[in-house]
């Protein structure tokens, strides 16, 4: 709630050494969804900042503090997770007044990539670096949906409810 609030990223080695990497302005305790999530390779962090109108600005930054860019701004965002190779971050745009939900992928380079237009997405797990499975409501049907980047969405399991859960494991 302080006017000059901030969050700091530290790297702690197994030898107990601690290194300060970067400090970002913002209130990370009371506001900011999604919460900060560091990419698997440790080079990037994505986080939400609550705006004065209670909407969210989604930021992509380097963990060394060398860049911090607002990449999207929506009424309600839900962070879903980084691809294993750290090249994409998936998030959901929650339905709001007059707006259908959908998913978006934030690549490290290039424009945002929408997926599942009109969907309510509750959870997502990456299958590999270029495909994922999510639990959501698409076209009025709850189910598990699969998508490979650049290809059409496929329903894999139907007849679920919003209370379903799932896991993804390599064979």
The pLDDT tens digits for 100-116 are: 678 999 999 889 998 88
Which residues make beta-bridge pairs with 48?
58
Which residues make beta-bridge pairs with 148?
131
**Tokens at 33, concatenated:** 């969804």
* pTM, entire model: 0.86
Q: Please say whether the beta carbons of 6 and 25 come within 8 A.
A: yes
Q: What mean pLDDT comes out for the span 147-151? A: 92
Question: Would you state the pLDDT for residue 106?
Answer: 93
pLDDT at 128 over 80: yes
Question: Would you state the pLDDT for residue 91?
Answer: 94
The correct answer on CATH 2.120.10.30 for the domain covering 6-158 is yes
Please state, rounded to an integer, the average pLDDT across all residues of the chain: 87
SS3 37: strand
Question: Is the CA virtual torsion 113, 48, 59, 82 positive or negative?
Answer: negative
**Tokens at 157, concatenated:** 């399991």
CA 98 to chain centre: 23
Q: What mean pLDDT comes out for the span 131-148? A: 94
How many other CB atoms are found less than 10 A from the CB of residue 36? 18
How many other CB atoms are found less than 10 A from the CB of residue 46? 21
Question: Would you state the pLDDT for residue 1?
Answer: 53
The percent of residues in the chain predicted with pLDDT above 90, rounded, is 53
For the chain, give every domain's residue range.
Answer: 6-158
């Amino acid at each position: 709630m302080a006017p000059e609030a901030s969050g700091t990223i530290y790297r702690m080695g197994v030898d107990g050494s601690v290194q300060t990497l970067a400090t970002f302005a913002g209130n990370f305790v009371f506001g900011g969804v999604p919460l900060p999530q560091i990419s698997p390779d440790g080079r990037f962090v994505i986080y939400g900042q609550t705006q004065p109108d209670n909407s969210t600005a989604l930021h992509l930054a380097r963990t060394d503090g060398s860049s911090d860019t607002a990449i999207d701004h929506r009424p309600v965002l839900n962070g879903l997770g980084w691809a294993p190779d750290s090249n994409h971050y998936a998030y959901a745009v929650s339905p709001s007044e007059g707006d259908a939900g959908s998913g978006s992928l934030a690549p490290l380079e290039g424009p945002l990539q929408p997926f599942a237009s009109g969907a309510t997405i509750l959870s997502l797990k990456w299958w590999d670096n270029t495909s994922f499975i999510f639990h959501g409501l698409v076209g009025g049907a709850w189910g598990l949906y699969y998508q490979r980047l650049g290809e059409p969405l496929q329903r894999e399991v139907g007849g679920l409810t919003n209370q379903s859960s799932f896991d993804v494991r390599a064979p």
